[in-house]
Structure 1
Amino acid sequence: MSGPTPTDSSRRQFVLGTATIAATGLAGCLGSSDRPEPVALTERMSCDQCGMVITQQPGPSGQTYYQDNSPEGHDPPARFCSTVCAYRHRFATGNRGWTPQVTYLTDYATVDYSVREEGGARVISAHLAAENFAVTEALEVVIGSGIEGAMGPAIVPFGTTSAAEEFVSTYGGEIIAAEDISSELVAQQ
């Protein structure tokens, strides 16, 4: 994507405002007043799944708070360099009895992302500020687009169907609910 035009900026501001209103409404419906908030992943932090430094990686990232467990070596949330790592961690810890309280993923409907060519791959930009994350229940994801992030093929989340559809029309892929991601689907990424 090239730099935003005045129309793009206005559309993104509208989408961001709409997503914020929808997220606020959804949060009220879900009773999330005791739900911990997402944090910025802008400091030098390692991914709790693969160990890579998050700030050095492209693409969508994630973070998970667990009900009765904490990541090793730091305060919650568990933090991830990619959506693939976030899902892999949730599935692996779920097998050990950990229950997620909330998982946040980068919401590409609220950011001005870019896709660049790097080493023959199309790579999407990272957005690590706390306000760029949304709960998985409020997201749809695009899979199979050929766009890459930190762990190869990216699972790219969007807070609005229209933003996901726009991404698919440009880059291909399939839209599914973020909560419908299975361990089998992640293994294919």
Structure 2
Amino acid sequence: MTRRLLLILALPALLLAGCDEADQATEAPPPVALTREAMGHFCGMTLVEHPGPKGQILLRGNARPVWFSSARDAIAFTLLDEESKAIRAIYVSDMAKAQTWEDPGATNWVEARQAWFVLGSDRRGGMGAEEAVPFSDQTAAERFAAAHGGRVLRLTEVPRDWVLGEGSAPPGEARDATPPRDAAAAPHRH
């Protein structure tokens, strides 16, 4: 009887704690403005040294973002088993609002899960690597692809082997977005 009573009394607190965690997971914190001091997670260099779109991931329990010198590297972080899965938000530079390729802007961000990505374009991101060029607007992504080549995809359609592999994906070729778990590929580290 006492054990049952304790369980009944504890149940509302457990339910509230669960709701709080669910609410935190669905309410993404706002992106952080890019500063000259932001250092790339994989390359260890300042982001402003690299052209093209950047990325930032906000993790639960950490107010500072994990920075990436390219949108592709930000996507790679989400796919690697050894990296944190306590992700609250994934932001990438919104190239629809960028002034130039060299300077995509300190506050032009789009949540990656809402973005349109162009893969296979002639534009190169950080360290000269092939880039997943993000846009908040599908029409802007399609215009970019028409001008620079490539195909327009959503984040869930970006092939894992393209992100983690060394090769590039031909613009028109459909590839498996979920290769075998034993793939030993690493992110395009700089």
- Relative to the length of structure 1, the TM-score reads 0.67
CA distance in 2, matches of 1:37, 1:138: 14
Contact 1:49–1:86 (CA under 8 A) maintained in structure 2: no
Q: Secondary structure at the match of 2:91?
A: strand
Structure ID, larger Rg: 2
Q: 1:40: Cα distance to partner?
A: 1.5
CA distance in 2, matches of 1:87, 1:50: 15
Q: Among 160, 165, 168, which residue is 2:137 paired with?
A: 160
CA distance in 2, matches of 1:42, 1:165: 30
| Gaps in structure 2 of 5+ consecutive residues | 1-22, 169-190
CA distance in 2, matches of 1:182, 1:99: 22
Residues 95 and 44 of structure 1, relative CA distance in 2, 3 Å threshold: closer
Identity of aligned residues (%): 27
CA distance in 2, matches of 1:37, 1:48: 20
Q: Secondary structure at the match of 2:141?
A: helix
Q: Among 110, 115, 130, which residue is 2:97 paired with?
A: 110
Mapping 1:6-155, distance limit 5 Å? 34-67=27-60, 70=62, 75-92=63-80, 94-96=81-83, 98-113=85-100, 124-130=101-107, 132-151=108-127, 152-155=129-132
Q: 1:96: Cα distance to partner?
A: 4.8
Residues 137 and 31 of structure 1, relative CA distance in 2, 3 Å threshold: farther
Q: Secondary structure at the match of 1:104?
A: strand
Q: 1:43: Cα distance to partner?
A: 2.2
Q: 1:147: Cα distance to partner?
A: 0.8
Point out the structure with the larger helix share. 1
Residues 147 and 34 of structure 1, relative CA distance in 2, 3 Å threshold: same
Q: 1:107: Cα distance to partner?
A: 0.7
Q: Secondary structure at the match of 2:72?
A: helix
Larger RCO (CA within 8 A; separation ≥ 6): 1
CA distance in 2, matches of 1:154, 1:137: 17
Q: Secondary structure at the match of 1:153?
A: coil
